[in-house]
Amino acid sequence: MNPRNRLNILRKPIRPILIAVVALSLVTGPSAAVGQGPASAAHRAVSSGPSNATDAQIRAKWTPEMLRSARPADMPVHKNADKPTSNINGSAPQSAQTIWQQKWWAVPSQVGRLYYITKDANGADAVGMCSATAISVDVIVTAGHCVVSVDGTTNPFWHHTFLFVPAQWGPVDFVGGTNLGPWGTWAGERATAWQAYAYYGNSALDYGFVKMLPHPDGKRVGDVVGWFGLYPNLTSYPNGLWNLGYPAQGHFSSWSGNYPWGCYSPYAGYLSHSEGGELAYEIYMGCGSNGGASGGPWVVPYNGVWNYVASVNSQCWASWDSPDGVTPSCKAYYSENLWGPWFDQRTVQLLAYAETLN
C-alpha cells in the first residue's frame, strides 16, 4: 500500500505542519534546496519584535476609514520571467498559459484579505493590503513583501497591526473591533520571514508567516475557518495549479481589491536565486493578476482534494509597459505570468518557528 494513501486530508483536526513533515519524506526536490534542519532555522529566521497587544486591542484600532484607505502592495516585476531554466523534475519548461480565470464566487473560508500598517514613500504610516491563507490553527501564510519592507539593510521595517478577513466578499462595511465578512476578523502583530529575503531580497524566499491572536473567547482563526495544509518539495504538478488572491490594480481597480480572483494554469518552470547565501527556487504559472493578490495561495490537490498550498503569489510579469511608458509592469492592466517561491523543508521550519511567536 502506498504510504501516501494513509494520509487524511482534513481541514481541521489534523495539524497541517504534521502532514507537511510526513510529506517531506515522500517527495524530494533538488538537493541544493534542502534546508539545514530545525537547529539552524532560527538563525536564519528573522521576525518583528514582541508585542503585548491583544486581539481585541488590535481589531479596535481598525476603522472603516482606515480600511477604505488601504492601498495594494505592488507586486514586484520579475526580472527574468522570459528565461525559465526547466521544470523542477528536469523536463523541458512549458509555456505559461492561463487555462481558466474569473472572479471567484465561492472563495474558501481559509483564504482572505490581509490588511496591515506599513510606511509610505515619505515615512508616514499607511495601510497596505495583500492576500493570505490560514495555514495552521493560528498562523497565516502570505508573501514576504506583505510582512516586511526590504530596503537592503539589516534593519528593515516590519509591517504590523495585521487584520485578516477570511473570505472577504464586497466592500468594507464596518469593523470597529467587531465582525467583517462571513468569518469575522482576526488580528496579528508578529510576523517572520527568512533573513535572506528580509535583509537581501532573495525573491525565491518571498514568503512569510503571521502569528494570529485568539479571540477573547479563546477561539483561534483555524478553529473557526479551518486551514489549508502546506505541501513542500513537489517535483511535478500533473494537475496544474489553482491561484487565488485579491488583485486591486489596473484591470481590477474598479473592484478595489474587494473580490477574490482565481486562475488555473499548468506549472511552467523554475529559476534559482542565491542572494543572502541561500540557494532557493521559484516557480511560475500563467495568470492575469496584480497588486493586492500578493501572498495569495497556489493550491494543489492531494487525493483529489484541493486544499494544500505549494507557493504564494510573489512576483509578476507582463509584456506591456507601466504608466511611465518605460518599464514592464503589471499595474497598468494585469500580469501574464505569476511567480512564487518553491516551498521546501525550510518552509516547514519557518512555519514551526512562527508557531512559537507570542
Model confidence band, residue 324 (pLDDT cutoffs 50, 70, 90) = low
Domain of 80 in residue numbering reads as 3-356
What are 165's strand-pairing partners? 113
Give whichever of 119-133, 250-264, 270-284 has the largest mean pLDDT: 119-133
Please provide residue 285's backbone torsions phi and psi, each rounded to the nearest 5 degrees.
-150, 170
Q: Between residues 103 and 156, which one has the greater pLDDT?
A: 156
Q: At what angle do helices 16-24 and 345-356 cross, to 10 degrees?
A: 150
Average pLDDT of span 242-265: 89
Q: Distance between CA 222 and CA 201 in Å, rounded?
A: 30
Q: How far is CA 158 from CA 1, 88, 101, 332, in A?
A: 47, 32, 33, 28
Per-residue pLDDT tens over the stretch 220-231: 999 999 999 999
**Strand, helix or coil at 311?**
strand
Q: How far is CA 18 from the centre of its chain?
A: 20
Q: Distance between CA 235 and CA 218 in Å, rounded?
A: 39
In this prediction, residue 4 carries a pLDDT of 26
Cell of 332: 497598468
Q: How far is CA 84 from CA 34, 92, 337, 355, in A?
A: 21, 9, 12, 34
In this prediction, residue 318 carries a pLDDT of 76
Say whether pLDDT at 88 is over 70: no
Say whether pLDDT at 167 is over 80: yes
Hunting for cell 523554475 — which residue is that? 270
Q: Looking at 89-93, 154-158, 175-179, which range is the least confident one?
A: 89-93
Q: Distance between CA 269 and CA 50 in Å, rounded?
A: 39
In this prediction, residue 100 carries a pLDDT of 59
CB atoms within 10 A of CB 266: 17
Helix (H) or strand (E) holding 37: none
In this prediction, residue 320 carries a pLDDT of 67
Give whichever of 2-6, 32-36, 67-71 has the largest mean pLDDT: 67-71
Q: Distance between CA 226 and CA 245 in Å, rounded?
A: 18
Q: Looking at 97-106, 163-172, 289-298, which range is the least confident one?
A: 97-106
Average pLDDT of span 295-310: 92
Cell of 232: 513542500
Q: What totals of helices (H) and strands (E) does the chain contain, helices first? A: 7, 20
Q: Looking at 14-23, 130-139, 203-212, 326-335, which range is the least confident one?
A: 14-23
In this prediction, residue 174 carries a pLDDT of 53
CB atoms within 10 A of CB 279: 16
Q: Structurally, how many domains does the chain consist of?
A: 1
Closest Cα partner for 309 from 9, 3, 5, 2? Answer: 9
Hunting for cell 518557528 — which residue is that? 353
In this prediction, residue 127 carries a pLDDT of 97
In this prediction, residue 170 carries a pLDDT of 82
Per-residue pLDDT tens over the stretch 23-54: 222 222 222 222 233 334 444 899 998 888 99
In this prediction, residue 12 carries a pLDDT of 32
* Predicted TM-score (pTM) of this structure: 0.84
Average pLDDT of span 309-332: 78
